[in-house]
Structure 1
Amino acid sequence: MRPVVAAAGAAGALGLGAAAAAHVWARHVEIHRYTLREVGLRILPPGTRTIRILHISDIHLMPDQQRKLDFLEHLALLRPHLVIDTGDNISSAASIPVLAAALEPLLRRPGAFVRGSNDMFAPMPKNPARYLLPDARPSGMTDPKEPTLPVQELTDRLTEHGWKNLTNTRASIELGGLEVRLTGVDDPHLELDEMPAPLDPEPPLPAHGSVLRLGVAHAPYRRVLDSLAADGADLLLAGHTHGGQLRLPGIGAIVTNCDIPRHQARGLSTWQGVPLNVSAGMGASPYANYRLFTPPEATLLTLRAPKASPVH
């Protein structure tokens, strides 16, 4: 029996070693491997020029996270036509001026945002095991009290150069011949989402006839995605999931922290026939600042018109 016991002990030691290596990688390496994910979609009306949308989410900024700030500043070099921010920007009130400084070149471009829970409430230590529950939200969070973060200060900094605040409302942005009609909701994770009423009357199509409809939310709960798709969105954008934050080879995301299917926890998929991009986001709570097999990211979506049919 001694060889068996020795083999079991060796296997256990290897398992512990692998777990320790994964922890070091997740906590000290991958959390800093900032990545630009690029995807293309042909969803624009025929004859419309190509546009680039930069989708950022879940920055969870602390003021001393210089590598994250450097990545945010680098994103301005992409010169996107439109920036969409799907919330959870900060982890501390002290992060607001630092975030605004890093984002300033992007804030001067056309853009819009929705709020996440960590734009209103400071992060707290949590038991990671609760994310395995059917509803990971702590008791009382669906009936939140007064925000513990300066929401208005953050909103003022994000809107000071023209970004649209999509908190349970609609907005429109003109992009050189393309009218982008946006519909957004407040954080579904806190059940603050209220689908804005349809415009009455519905605005007429512009003379050029080119309209793109975007549905924007922080957390991709099914009820919200259903409502935005039924509202006529051409593209849905959300964040919140961190791509699962911990993923396993062959399994993918272990949890999503909402009710979206795990295989849609990050990246491009479809919902009710509508393209859906769920950003894995750029950060994590300072109390759980690690990632495994899902590096922090921003997404550049290049939208084009359909290919012209060949002439016979």
Structure 2
Amino acid sequence: MTFDRMRRRILKGLAASGLAGIAASSGYARFIEPFNYEITYTEIPIRDLPTEFDGFRLVQITDLHHSRIVPREEIARVIDLVRGLDGEMIVLTGDFTTARRRYIEPCAELLSALSAPEGVWAVLGNHDHYTDPELTARALARAKINVLNNANTLIRRKTATLQLIGIDDWSWGATDWARAFKGIDRRRPSILLSHQPRVFDMEETQGVSLILSGHTHGGQVSLPLIGAPARFAKEFRYIAGLYERHGTRMYVSRGTGMVGIPVRIGARPEISVISLRRSTV
């Protein structure tokens, strides 16, 4: 065999194996990882948390994005997984759909299967505003989901209370801080539901014990060595996981859905289980 002939055969083999690798990676990113839900467990210390809430278990769902690329069957799978997690409270941090009004009510209808001893609570995200915020809020309310639209409430256990606050989407200018925090005692433990993690940097959230957010999808694509390219954008500075500053902690869930390109790679969809722990520091 001549050198040129051998070279052509080797290059052809390398090309074939490369194409096979690309095809396998593409198939994984499109059909496997987007629906390979990871249930994460995180314990978060809360200063001066009442003993009655020590070990309190919240389950967070975010960024469902019911749409053509996230079908009804996958929303139902997520809900079935959540129902098996025995959350004492369920929180939904926005982006129920992506861009089409026709998906709002079917998504809410599926979510109506959720229940928890301390209720199911929700805030809206940027895509809910893009689609139809009023219809989304009404559909969730009909599904017996409590929408905290710049509002707060008290979760009670015996004589102890935990402050729960929800803000409407900051990026759409829908946040009303004064209304959301009306009556809140900044010296006592509080949890803030905010679709946008960017509020972590804002003066208004100082003193909040814990912020639960979504929005980022963990970048949706995270590459070896490089990480998630999206993290270089200011909007995605807090891309996933737990952050802490001056006593305020924030957990950013990767969420379960997709938007834009129908792939996930290196950023598995996430259902978050948060356990609160009493701390004195």
Q: Same fold (TM over 0.5)?
A: yes
The AA in structure 2 aligned to 1:72 is: I
> Is 1:120 equivalent to 2:129 in the alignment?
yes
> Is 1:284 equivalent to 2:258 in the alignment?
yes
Unaligned ranges ≥5, structure 1: 122-148, 206-210, 308-312
Cα offsets for 1:62-96 (capped at 9, x unmatched): 38431331221331232312222110001333333
Q: Following TM superposition, by how much is the alpha carbon of 1:182 offset from its aligned partner in structure 2, in angstroms?
A: 2.9
8 Å CA contact retained: 1:110, 1:173: no
1:156 is matched with: 138
Cα gap change, 1:25 to 1:228, in 2 (>3 Å): farther
The AA in structure 2 aligned to 1:274 is: T
8 Å CA contact retained: 2:207, 2:247: no
Structure 1 CA distance for aligned equivalents of residues 31 and 258 of structure 2: 13
Q: 2:273 aligns with which of 296, 300, 307?
A: 300
1:208 is matched with: none
Structure 2 CA distance for aligned equivalents of residues 261 and 90 of structure 1: 20
> Is 1:54 equivalent to 2:28 in the alignment?
no
> Is 1:39 equivalent to 2:16 in the alignment?
no
Q: How many percent identity over aligned positions?
A: 24
Q: 2:102 aligns with which of 83, 89, 94?
A: 94
Cα gap change, 1:18 to 1:102, in 2 (>3 Å): same
* Structure with more helix by fraction: 2
1:247 counterpart SS class: coil
1:215 is matched with: 192
1:124 is matched with: none
How many residue pairs get matched?
A: 270
The AA in structure 1 aligned to 2:120 is: G
1:226 is matched with: 201
1:59 counterpart SS class: coil
Structure 2 CA distance for aligned equivalents of residues 182 and 115 of structure 1: 15
The AA in structure 2 aligned to 1:41 is: I
Cα offsets for 1:192-241 (capped at 9, x unmatched): 33423586765598xxxxx53112211212xx212367431101111111
Q: 1:187 aligns with which of 166, 169, 183?
A: 169
1:244 is matched with: 219
Structure 1 CA distance for aligned equivalents of residues 178 and 236 of structure 2: 25
Structure 1 CA distance for aligned equivalents of residues 233 and 218 of structure 2: 12
How does the TM-score come out when normalised to structure 1?
0.73
Cα offsets for 1:161-194 (capped at 9, x unmatched): 6644333x23113231442323333223334334
Unaligned ranges ≥5, structure 2: none
> Is 1:110 equivalent to 2:119 in the alignment?
yes
> Is 1:26 equivalent to 2:29 in the alignment?
yes
Matches within 5 A, 1:131-150: 149-150=131-132
Higher mean C-alpha displacement, 270-279 vs 12-21: 12-21
How does the TM-score come out when normalised to structure 2?
0.81
1:305 counterpart SS class: strand
8 Å CA contact retained: 2:186, 2:207: no
Structure 2 CA distance for aligned equivalents of residues 41 and 218 of structure 1: 19
2:91 counterpart SS class: strand
The AA in structure 1 aligned to 2:257 is: G
1:252 counterpart SS class: coil
Structure 2 CA distance for aligned equivalents of residues 254 and 31 of structure 1: 18
8 Å CA contact retained: 2:108, 2:143: no
